[in-house]
Amino acid sequence: MFDKLEAVESRYEQIAIELSRPETAADSALFTKLMKEHAELSQIVEKYREYKSAKASETEALEILSESGLEKDFKELAEEELKEARAALEKISDELKLLLLPKDPNDEKNVIVEIRGGAGGEEAALFAGSLYRMYNMYSESKRWNAEVISANETELGGYKEIVFMIEGAGAYSKLKYESGVHRVQRVPDTETQGRIHTSTVTVAVLPEAEDVELEINPADLKIDTFRSSGAGGQHINKTSSAIRVTHIPTGTVVECQDERSQFKNKDKALKILRSRLLDAAQREHDEAIASDRKSQVGTGDRSERIRTYNYPQGRVTDHRIGLTLYKLEQVLNGDLDEIIDALTTYYRTEALKAENEAQG
C-alpha cells in the first residue's frame, strides 16, 4: 500500500510542477485534464501526509522512551504521545485503504432517473411526484441541471412514470444508491377513516451511456411517432412529435414526448435506451463474475425495499444500513446528504471487506 501511496504523492507533485509551466496554461485541454487529476489525487495525498506526520510522532515518542533515566512526568508525557500517535495511525490507515479502492468508472457521469408508481394506485403516483421534487431540489442544492425527458401525469398531479436527466459532476456517485423500492406510509387526503395507507414507488438510477461505450445497430430499432398527450388525454400539441423507440433484440421500449421537436424527442429517447441497455449488460456481467454478496456491493438491488417514508412519525428509515432520521420534511425538500454520505461510507466499507477477503 505504501509503495502505491509514494507513487501517488510523486505524481501529485509532478502535476503541480507541470501546471505551473506557461506552456501547460496555454493548452486549455491539457490544463483542464491535469487540474482534474490533481484534484482527484489531493485527498489521498493529504491523508498520506497526515499518516507520515503521525508516524514521525510515534518514532519520536519511542526514541524518548528508549532513553534511560527519564523523569516520571516526561515518561508519562511520551507514553501519552505514543498512544495518541498509534491511534491516529490506525484510523488514518483505514481511511487510506478506503481512498485507494478502485473508483467506479461511472461516478462522474450524468444520470438518468426513472421513477414509477408501484403498489397503491393514485397514492403511489402522488408519491412518485414527491420523489421527483425531492431529487430536483437536491440537484438544485448541488447546482446540477435536471431536465424532464418523459412524464405520464395523472389527473391529481402525480406521475405513473417520470424520467429525467440530471447533469452535473459526480451526479452518479451521489445518486447511484437510490435505485430500489421506496415505500411511503401516510393518510391519503381521500381517506375518511384516518387509516394509514402503504404505497410503493420504484426508482432506477442509470449512468448516462456514452456513444463509444455501446454500439446500437440501427437495423435493431423500430421507431414510431405519435401525438403527445397529457393528463386526461388532452393533446399537448397536434403534431406527431412524440417518439417511441423499440430495441427489437431485447424488447426494450422507450417513449419521449417532452419536446415539441420530433428530432429532440428521438435524441432523448436514444439516450435513455443506450443507458438502459448498458446498465442491463453491466448487471449481467456483474452477476456472471461475482458472488451474491459481492454483486450487491456498490450496486443496490431494485427489487429490494430500500427506504420507508413515514409521514405520521415524520420519519425516514433506510433499511440497508438501519439509519432512521426524524426529519422527513427536510429530506423531501432535498436534504439528502446525511443519508447519501452514510450509504457511501457503508458500501465503500463493504467493498473493502470484500477486497480483503479476496486477498485471503
**What whole-number distance in Å separates Cα of residue 91 and Cα of residue 288?**
35
Residues 340 and 320: beta-carbon distance below 8 Å = no
**What whole-number distance in Å separates Cα of residue 154 and Cα of residue 160?**
7
Q: What is the pLDDT of residue 273?
A: 84
Residue indicated by cell numbers 386526461: 232
Q: How confident is the model at residue 151 (pLDDT cuts 50, 70, 90)?
A: confident
- Specify which residues 308 forms β-bridges with: 183, 317
**What whole-number distance in Å separates Cα of residue 118 and Cα of residue 96?**
41
Higher-pLDDT residue of 245 and 290 is: 245
Higher-pLDDT residue of 216 and 343 is: 343
Stretch 35-51: mean pLDDT, rounded? Answer: 89
pTM: 0.64
Residue 246, pLDDT above cutoff 60: yes
Domains detected in the chain: 2-99 (1.20.58), 111-352 (3.30.70.1660)
**In sequence order, what are the residues at sequence separation of 6 or more whose Cβ sits closer than 8 angstroms to the Cβ of residue 211?**
274
Q: At 57, list the grid cell.
A: 510522532
Q: How confident is the model at residue 2 (pLDDT cuts 50, 70, 90)?
A: confident
Segment of 87-96, 247-256, 269-278 carrying the highest mean pLDDT:
87-96
Stretch 132-138: mean pLDDT, rounded? Answer: 96
- State the chain's mean pLDDT as an integer: 82
**What whole-number distance in Å separates Cα of residue 141 and Cα of residue 202?**
23
Stretch 70-80: mean pLDDT, rounded? Answer: 85
- Specify which residues 116 forms β-bridges with: 161, 202
Q: How many CB atoms lie within 10 A of CB 72?
A: 7
Q: How many CB atoms lie within 10 A of CB 71?
A: 8
Coil vs helix vs strand at 208: coil
Segment of 165-179, 221-235, 237-251 carrying the highest mean pLDDT:
165-179
Q: How confident is the model at residue 342 (pLDDT cuts 50, 70, 90)?
A: very high
Stretch 3-29: mean pLDDT, rounded? Answer: 90
Higher-pLDDT residue of 250 and 141 is: 141
**What whole-number distance in Å separates Cα of residue 26 and Cα of residue 57?**
43
DSSP 360: -
Residues 1 and 96: beta-carbon distance below 8 Å = yes
Segment of 121-130, 211-220, 280-289 carrying the highest mean pLDDT:
121-130
**What whole-number distance in Å separates Cα of residue 162 and Cα of residue 153?**
8
Residue 238, pLDDT above cutoff 60: no
Residue 189, pLDDT above cutoff 70: no
Residue 183, pLDDT above cutoff 90: yes
State residue 119 phi and psi, 5-degree precision: -70, 135
Could you give the angle at the alpha carbon of 264 between the alpha carbons of 262 and 270, nearest 5°?
100
Higher-pLDDT residue of 307 and 105 is: 307
Residues 241 and 257: beta-carbon distance below 8 Å = yes
Residue 132, pLDDT above cutoff 70: yes
Q: What is the pLDDT of residue 248?
A: 83
Q: At 317, list the grid cell.
A: 428509515
State residue 133 phi and psi, 5-degree precision: -60, -40
Residues 43 and 99: beta-carbon distance below 8 Å = yes
Residues 124 and 323: beta-carbon distance below 8 Å = no
Residue indicated by cell numbers 487540474: 35
Higher-pLDDT residue of 1 and 189 is: 1
**What whole-number distance in Å separates Cα of residue 218 and Cα of residue 150?**
22
Single-letter amino acid code for the residue at 134: M
**What whole-number distance in Å separates Cα of residue 230 and Cα of residue 224?**
18
Residue 130, pLDDT above cutoff 90: yes
Q: How many CB atoms lie within 10 A of CB 144?
A: 21
Instruction: Convert the pLDDT of each residue in 157-179 to its tens digit.
Output: 889 989 899 999 889 999 999 99
Residues 318 and 177: beta-carbon distance below 8 Å = no
Instruction: Convert the pLDDT of each residue in 267-322 to its tens digit.
Output: 788 888 888 887 777 777 556 544 433 333 333 344 568 999 999 999 999 999 99
